Structure 1
Amino acid sequence: MYSVSDDTRQTIDEVIAAVDGVVEERHQRGHAIAPGMVREVLLSRDTGTVLPYGLKQLALYTSAVAMSRVLRHAGIEPDAALGESFGEIAARECAGNVTVTNGARTACALNDAYYAVLNQGDMLLVNASEAHTLAVLRQINHPELSLATVNSPTHTVVSGPHDALQAMIDATPAGTPPPRELGIGYASHHPQHTAIKQAALRSMPGIPQTPLKLALYSTVQQRAYTPQDDLVEGFSDNTIKPCHLPNTLNALSRAIHKPLFIDLGGNGYMARCVSKILPGARTYAPLTQNALDLRADLALKP
């Protein structure tokens, strides 16, 4: 994307610079992520270097926001924004609720809240339906194992401490693809993380917000936010409540006729989930395309 045109390069540089401003503020207060690291993660080949805590999430936020800005500069305006879990921060920026800078501050505040439980648990991507995953959870009957997200008819995510996740892996029948640990570093969407939610709520209200400029869908609330909703409270629910992408997409598709779903992620996973949930839906994952396709799709000159 960075090499598509001078316009895309400038847009991406502006977003990275805005995020780097937040990184500089925090680095001066002793945080490990230093200015320039987000740029290196996004624009350099993977060197296998261990990343400081929170850098991966901050880089994912930055890339999604940069992609959103590139599309808008090409004349593609969204009718709604949707982000699952941590991705809701980029969706809030897309919907006009926070600036690029304040979205980065929100991402850092959430990472700060989770630091208290760092390496005490993680999440598993399970190749199974919601009903099957719930049946396995009942069979295992581990008090600290929880359904975290329903991503599609064939993919779920389970959250919990490491021993509980191992019990889930051990319960996988022979010949079935085993669950894959996501390597997030903590067990998100877990009902026992009420202290994490409270820590997030103490820091996030001080981050400026503006009214939504377009519909913002929450996979935790499984609907679009309304003017009566507290968006900070709603977002912080991601720490303790499960996400349900199928129910949310069904609500969105009832509100918007034949939508085109544009996946701002780097691997097209959300677009694949949409296709499984809404067969025949139009999807587009620009960051999975090569530069020539992007120039044509965005009507940009080389």
Structure 2
Amino acid sequence: WLEANPKAPFADVARTLATRSRGRSKAVVPATDVESAIEGLRRVAEGSAGPGIVSVDSPLAQGPVWIFSGYGSQHRKMGKDLLALSPVFRETLEKCDEVIKDSVGWSLIEKILDDGQTYDLESAQIGITAIQVAQTDMMRAMGAEPAAVLGMSMGEIAAAYAGGGLTLEETLRVACARSRLMGEGESMLSEDELGGMAMVELSVEELDELLAEHPEFAGVEPAVYAAPGMTTVGGPQAAIAAIVEYLTGEGKMARPLAVKGAGHTSALDPLLGELWSECADIEPTPLTVPLFSSVDRGVTYQPGDVVHDADYFVRCTRQSVWFSDAVSRACAAGYTTFVEFAPNPVALMPTMATAFAAGLPDAQLIHLLKRKESAGESIAAACATLYGHGHDIDLGALTGPGPHADLPGMSWRHQRFWTSARPASGGRAKLPGSRTTLPGGDIAYAGDAAVAPSSHAVIDAAIADAVPGARVLAVEEPGTLPQSGEITTVVSPHPGGAVVSVYSVTGAPGATELVARASVTTIDSVAAAAAAAGGD
């Protein structure tokens, strides 16, 4: 159709396709014009891959897990292009900005729009949370919903909003309080007092053994258990430098991180009391979806649980982050699609490593935004992957309002699928029923409606018994096959085939109602008719 209508308005074609009924197999082709659409559709028809093409034979059993990552995803232009692209994102970010201005006295939107400003610890953490909240509302406006949520470190705050545990205002209040206290604490430290962090190639048990055997690493504490064999540690700068040097010498990966503090360690103890006080008056609400907690190891909170009080966010700030454990539980629960909400993906790599260790090498890992990738491309690719795998996406929200193209409908392949299997018992319990030859040559069958899946099945059974080799030309169904009771099927042969009539026997003596009638013909009679007409 596209080849025959190359000048068709492309957006109109997309709007029409967005309204079509969806089957179990789905494909999405990214295209900006008719030519690229034709090329992509050909690839789908041929079963070959192509850039951005999503083609899936059947939907996934479980919905997606929405992952909210922590500190580290910030960058100078985060959220700027999405602010201009999505009205829903902008509206929610403006709501967040009002809370931010009231809590800490500066505007996030002004910072996003002014390339001359930079992010520090406080503004980066608040900015990440606000962007995650706005992404949540944007995706919901496009029909997406989480089957479960999962937070990494400070990502637990936005996960609380997505999971129904906090309102938007309370979410930003928690984020502002936590970020302000951490920023103030960092600014009061001298260079010698600043902490450090590093990513090391050690498991939970290996790290515990190493710290127990090497007193020179005193002060080093586990901060984030990101993935199997991937752990972030924090502590005094000298101790962090020493453990990095030691592990590098042992042939293990050890990389210091560009931070000035030691998050999720005892270095944060002095601010925990004030953080609790700042969060004491929030009123958490029951979860609407499961929460795979990275705060409380091994715990999955269920819908209806009330989780997000001041104590939870104090634990979230101070305790080690059990991210790998949370992802492992999600995998064990059957989830295979993970969507990261962040300005830039930082949690998908440890998620991939954890899923692979859990026996899911083909888990779907989706980002919503990525540095140096246009927001439109990222969101479109995320929605295509979600839709292709059977997750909820409102394609109409993507195509927007406007006229629709008059496209052809579904092309159906006509094929009969009635099974040849029949009940094994005899008499009426076996279709078409007990047989009687009537005066005049008609054949009648007395059968049981309870064993007949449909009138078509009764007709097929009668043909197989009385007119072997015949095929059905047409079927009319003026009545409905009863669920139980007696049915009578009459086969009336004629030179070209037969007429098969199915009747339901009503309560009155001798009373029947026509359920279905079929005209059938034999293969030989069709060949004879073709020969008489001069055919081969």
Contact 1:5 1:301 in 2 (8 A): no
* Matching residue's letter, 1:121: G
Cα deviation 1:51-97 (Å, max 9, x = unaligned):
34400001111121222222111111001111011110010111122
Alignment match of 2:379 (pick from 284, 294, 300): 294
With a CA cutoff of 8 Å and minimum separation of 6, indicate the structure with the bigger relative contact order: 1
Q: Which has the higher helix share?
A: 1
Residue 109 of structure 2 aligns with which residue?
39
* Matching residue's letter, 2:341: L
Q: Which has the higher strand share?
A: 2
Give the distance between the partners of 1:20 and 1:228, measured in 2 at CA. 26
Greater shift, 78-87 or 141-150, is seen at 141-150
C-alpha deviation, 1:140, in angstroms: 3.8
Residue 181 of structure 1 aligns with which residue?
257
Report the TM-score, using the length of structure 1 for normalisation.
Answer: 0.83
Contact 2:227 2:324 in 1 (8 A): yes
Report the TM-score, using the length of structure 2 for normalisation.
Answer: 0.49
Alignment match of 1:219 (pick from 268, 273, 294): 294
Gap runs ≥5 in structure 1: 29-33
Q: Aligned pair in 2 of structure 1 residues 201, 225: CA closer, same or farther (>3 Å)?
A: farther
**What are the residue-to-residue correspondences of 1:233-244 with 2, within 5 Å?**
233-244=311-322
Alignment match of 2:265 (pick from 190, 211, 214): 190
Cα deviation 1:119-155 (Å, max 9, x = unaligned):
4324222244434444443344233210111101242
Residue 126 of structure 1 aligns with which residue?
200
Per the alignment, in what secondary structure is the counterpart of residue 347 of structure 2?
Answer: helix
Per the alignment, in what secondary structure is the counterpart of residue 85 of structure 1?
Answer: coil
* Matching residue's letter, 1:138: A
Cα deviation 1:184-217 (Å, max 9, x = unaligned):
x432211464433222111102234322222222
* Matching residue's letter, 1:249: V
1:157 to 2:232 alignment: yes
C-alpha deviation, 1:115, in angstroms: 4.5
| Structure 1 stretches of at least 4 aligned residues deviating more than 6 Å after TM superposition | none
Give the distance between the partners of 1:230 and 1:292, measured in 2 at CA. 34
Q: Aligned pair in 2 of structure 1 residues 22, 272: CA closer, same or farther (>3 Å)?
A: same
Residue 353 of structure 2 aligns with which residue?
276
Contact 1:216 1:225 in 2 (8 A): yes
Contact 1:122 1:162 in 2 (8 A): yes
Contact 1:124 1:179 in 2 (8 A): yes
* Matching residue's letter, 1:272: M
Q: Aligned pair in 2 of structure 1 residues 58, 5: CA closer, same or farther (>3 Å)?
A: closer
Residue 85 of structure 1 aligns with which residue?
153
* Matching residue's letter, 1:287: L
Residue 27 of structure 2 aligns with which residue?
none
Contact 1:82 1:91 in 2 (8 A): yes
Give the distance between the partners of 2:248 and 2:382, measured in 1 at CA. 44
Residue 326 of structure 2 aligns with which residue?
248
Residue 31 of structure 1 aligns with which residue?
none
C-alpha deviation, 1:242, in angstroms: 0.9
Per the alignment, in what secondary structure is the counterpart of residue 338 of structure 2?
Answer: strand
Give the distance between the partners of 1:5 and 1:147, measured in 2 at CA. 37
C-alpha deviation, 1:43, in angstroms: 5.5
* Matching residue's letter, 2:99: V
Q: Percent identity?
A: 21
Contact 1:220 1:242 in 2 (8 A): yes
Residue 94 of structure 1 aligns with which residue?
162
* Matching residue's letter, 1:167: A
Residue 452 of structure 2 aligns with which residue?
none
1:26 to 2:103 alignment: yes
Per the alignment, in what secondary structure is the counterpart of residue 54 of structure 1?
Answer: helix
